[in-house]
Every structure is written in structure tokens, then in C-alpha cells.
């Protein structure tokens, strides 16, 4: 399996990050269209991208009033940016079950390679460092690939099992393997 690493966002991955935007845009997925990345342009200037990175760091350390900290990490493979994972350690139980402590996406051209599972494993270690003994992972009910990733993570780490709400599937999972 290809070597992957989880890193903090960095401008050196600008080109590979921005080149993924058309791949996501082609999906026309509602959730993706609601993200900050959807507002980006693959021709974004260096200064604009630097501001984007600064905002990610600010959200980790200095969240705006009424928001929680969000730690963003990028999955890097031999080609550069392959995915993003965000850890929100300060959510209430209700918020976690609605949004999940961890949100992730894999670049469409990199899907089906086991990247999300590897990325979540790395994020579980980061979540534990942030003081979380369990995290809630969630996805839309009809997102079968993400549900499978969540269930596989539960089977590996243990926790409180899967739950289905009207629109979402969520699972509380230990951050340290059973």
C-alpha cells in the first residue's frame, strides 16, 4: 500500500489541492457545495491560498465566538493532496451526533484505495492527543462508502455502535484500539 502521511495544511500543497476542485465540482454533491472549498477557484492566487491556510490555523487556535475549534489535517500521497480530515474536539454530544467529531473527504480520483480508512486511523491518534477518548463519526444515511468506513473503524477500535437518525448514520468509536 502507498505511503500516506497526515500533515497540517501547508501552501506547498497548493497546486495539488486546487487541482482537485474540478473533481469535486463534477460530483455536484450538496454537502460538498456547502463547504468553503466549493467557493474556491482552481486558479486561486498564492496570496488568497495563504489566507485560506491562515484561516484554517486560526480556527484551530482562535475560533470565532459561537464556534468550536476545528483541527484540519491533509492526507498526502506521492502526488500531493489526497484528502482532508477535520477534528472538532469541543462539540457537545448532540452536536457530535449531528455533525460528527471527525469529518473527512477523499479526492474523487483517489477513492477506492483505502485512503479514508488510513486517514481515520491517523486522526484517531490525533483525537486522543486532543483529549478525546471517543469520537462520533457520522455521514448521510445514503453514503454507503462512508458508512462502510465508519463501520470498519468501529470494528477495529470498538465503541458504542452505529445509530440511524432520520437523515444520518453515526457511531461512537474509541480513539484507542480495543
* Residue range 6-56, pLDDT digits in tens: 999 999 999 999 898 888 878 766 555 555 565 666 666 778 889 989 989
Question: Quick check: helix, strand or coil at residue 159?
Answer: strand
CATH number (3.40.50.720, 3.40.50.980, 3.40.630.30, 3.40.190.10) of 5-174 reads 3.40.630.30
Q: What is the DSSP string of 51-114?
A: HHHHHHHHHHHSPPTT----EEEEEEETTEEEEEEEE-TT--HHHHHHH-SEEEEE-GGGTTSS
Q: How far is 153 from 137, CA to CA, in rounded Å? A: 9
Domain boundaries, the chain: 5-174
Strand partners, 136: 172
For the entire predicted model, the pTM comes to 0.88
In the prediction, which pLDDT does 43 show? 67
Amino acid at each position: 500500500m502507498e505511503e500516506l502521511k497526515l500533515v497540517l495544511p501547508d501552501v506547498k500543497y497548493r497546486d495539488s489541492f486546487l487541482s482537485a476542485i474540478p473533481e469535486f465540482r463534477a460530483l455536484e454533491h450538496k454537502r460538498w457545495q456547502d463547504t468553503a472549498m466549493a467557493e474556491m477557484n482552481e486558479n486561486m492566487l498564492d496570496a488568497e491560498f495563504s489566507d485560506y491556510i491562515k484561516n484554517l490555523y486560526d480556527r484551530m487556535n482562535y475560533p470565532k465566538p459561537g464556534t468550536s475549534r476545528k483541527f484540519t489535517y491533509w492526507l498526502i500521497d506521492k502526488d500531493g493532496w489526497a484528502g482532508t480530515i477535520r477534528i472538532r474536539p469541543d462539540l457537545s454530544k448532540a452536536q457530535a451526533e449531528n455533525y460528527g467529531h471527525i469529518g473527512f473527504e477523499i479526492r474523487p480520483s483517489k477513492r477506492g484505495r483505502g485512503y479514508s480508512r488510513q486517514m481515520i486511523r491517523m486522526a484517531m491518534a490525533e483525537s486522543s492527543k486532543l483529549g478525546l477518548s471517543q469520537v462520533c463519526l457520522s455521514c448521510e444515511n445514503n453514503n454507503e462508502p462512508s458508512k462502510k468506513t465508519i463501520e470498519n473503524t468501529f470494528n477495529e477500535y470498538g465503541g458504542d455502535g452505529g445509530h440511524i437518525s432520520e437523515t444520518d448514520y453515526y457511531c461512537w468509536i474509541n480513539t484507542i484500539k480495543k
